[in-house]
Amino acid sequence: MLTWKKIINFSIKGNPIPDKRVEKTVAEWKAQLTPEQFRITRLKGTERPHSGALCSIHEAGKYNCVCCNTPLFDSTIKFESGTGWPSFTQPITENAIKYERDTAFGMVRVEVMCNTCDAHLGHVFPDGPEPSGLRYCINSESMQLEKVL
């Protein structure tokens, strides 16, 4: 199980090695993604709170990266944080997520990205529920739900 200490360590000393890498040009990403998906995932944008389609959905399945389809989170670790963004306590695998220190807007946070394609997903905070105490606060536009049938 990932802990806040381990996440900080990844953001300082380097991230886990992904299973694969997906790299595309800006033109290729723009052709594949909607303008809003491109703004959020490739330009590090965010969606307004409570506006994302996946915020209040709690169906069984996997939440995959909208850019490269890498599984990021499982519905079993999704929780209602009240923040207005889908929230999770752990990634699906330790190497699914990449972590970087983010000092934008006068704050110090930890940005989370897809470790396969570097898509911006959101941020992680140490104020989630036990046992991990983590809250991955993720933009709906950066993921797609692969429902379990």
**Which residues are part of the catalytic machinery?**
137
Pair of tokens at residue 91: 């990634």
Contacts (Cβ under 8 Å, ≥6 apart) of 35? none
CA angle 88, 94, 100 (to 5 degrees): 80
Residue with the two structure tokens 């995932």? 41
Residue with the two structure tokens 């169906």? 59
How would you classify the pairing of strands 120-125 and 135-138?
antiparallel
